[in-house]
Amino acid sequence: MTHKIADVNVFYVSTSDCAGVGDSTLRYDKACMAVVEIRTDSGLSGYGITIKDEIAGLIRNTIKPILMGKDPVNTEDIWQEMFLNIRGSGRKGLSLVAISVVDIALWDLKGKILGLPVHRLLGGGKRFIPTYASGGWTSYTLDELLAEMKSFVDLGYSTIKMKVGVELGRNIKEDSRRVHAVRDMVGPDIDIIIDANNVWDSGTAVRFAEMVRDCDIAAFEEPVCADDIPGLGRIRSSINIPVATGEHEYTKYGMRDLLAGKAVDIVQLDATKAGGITEMVKVSAMCQAWNLLFAPHCFEIVHMHLLSAAPNAFKLEKLFLFNGIMRRCIKNYPEPVNGILEIPDLPGMGLEFDMEWIMQNNELK
């Protein structure tokens, strides 16, 4: 039986449960999700998820006409056609977010058509995926930070992530005190990741790594601007902490540039931005070829499938800030137990979106 794409819809919803939270370079006023639904003439629906509402125009005007009438199983062919058609609108940024969420919806459909979960389509048999607990915002007081980190450990996580770069990155002595306080509290057996969210220059980052040398840091994430690939290369060759980056990088070409710059130890490209499942399979292979760890940013409910099949897998990021909106959007929202995420045993992406709530609360015209 053949299946043809018959309709494409975009929805956008938000909740206010992260109002006031911030990292070194951004403040948040709400948690948002964009959901794309692709329907076939055979009555199936596939769903993708990402975070930007601005993609709606690109999907409706540029991508939907490409998709109509196509067989959704042909993800590689469709990806290439989408990528060629957005060439003038930007081969990074929002154009790629639009391609990504559509590609994820196509893989959801492919799984439903073939009757297999996506991780099995990718060849991965693992259904239990390790995650780390991510939070520790710079907007928190020290007491709030310590309370959250303790709550993560109490939930059974052995790896936790906190932000650094308080006061817009201008008080590294306070950052050092916060990292030391967390290490003192959790003891030696918990892995700590620090995330500077692009705030520093490479010299400051190298200095900061030295200030927390005695804290046994498992990874130093985005110490400088994501585009400062020479700076990342300098940091990586200067410090004894693995450098993590990639959440603001796009496609295999962005991955190639990180590799050429010797800029990364832990690769964090994100399927909901960097090109979907189709592109991230290639990024994962590049990690294997360079013997680097693969740890896609956030959206563990998408990335669990990739990590199931990734030989160089690290852990997935469980971002606690998204719990509220995810629990609203996804009826069977899979949540880790003792840090281990179980992939739902369902065809496709394995997620049951609450389309009634999403349509009722849709903010797009």
Closest C-alpha to 358, from 14, 6, 4, 5: 14
Nearer to Mg ion among residue 254 and residue 350 (C-beta): 254
**Residues with Cβ within 8 Å of residue 97, at least 6 apart in sequence:** 50, 51, 52, 55, 272, 273
**Residues in Cβ contact with 168 at an 8 Å cutoff, skipping those fewer than 6 apart:** 24, 25, 199
Q: Which is nearer to Mg ion, 37 or 195 (CB)?
A: 195
Closest separation between CB of residue 361 and Mg ion, Å? Answer: 27
Nearer to Mg ion, 195 or 265 (CB): 195
Nearer to Mg ion, 121 or 192 (CB): 192
Q: Judged by CB, which is closer to Mg ion: 148, or 195? A: 195
Q: Tell me the residue number closest to Mg ion, measured at CB.
A: 195
Report, in Å, the least distance between residue 10 CB and Mg ion.
26
Question: In whole angstroms, how close is the CB of 138 to Mg ion at the nearest point?
Answer: 12
Q: Which is nearer to Mg ion, 103 or 195 (CB)?
A: 195
Shortest Å, Cβ 100 to Mg ion: 17
Of the pair 183, 248, the CB lying nearest Mg ion is at 248
DSSP state for residue 217 in the 8-state scheme: E
**Binding residues with Mg ion: total (CB under 5 A):** 1
* Least distance (Å) between residue 238 CB and Mg ion: 21
Binding mask 171-200 for Mg ion (x = CB under 5 A): ------------------------x-----
- Cβ 255 vs Cβ 267: under 8 Å: yes
- Contact (Cβ atoms closer than 8 angstroms) between residue 212 and residue 179: yes
Instruction: Find the shortest distance in angstroms from Cβ 317 to Mg ion.
Output: 8
SS (H, E, C) 245-288: ECCCCCHHHHHHHHHHCCCCCEECCCHHHHCHHHHHHHHHHHHH
Altogether, the residues listed in the chain come to a count of: 365
Closest contact distance (angstroms) between CB of 309 and Mg ion is 23
Any contact of residue 317 with Mg ion (CB under 5 A)?
Answer: no
SS3 per-residue string spanning 43-77: CCEEEEEECCCCHHHHHHHHHHHHHCCCCCCCHHH
Q: How far is the CB of 200 from Mg ion (least distance, A)?
A: 14
d(CA 121, CA 134): 29
Nearest to 2, CA basis, from 47, 69, 65: 69
Binding to Mg ion, residues 320-359 (CB under 5 A):
none
Segment 145 to 174, residues that bind Mg ion, using CB under 5 A: none
Cβ neighbors of 338 (< 8 A, separation 6 or more) are: 155, 156, 157
Closest to Mg ion by CB, 9 or 198: 198
Contacts with Mg ion by CB under 5 A lie at: 195
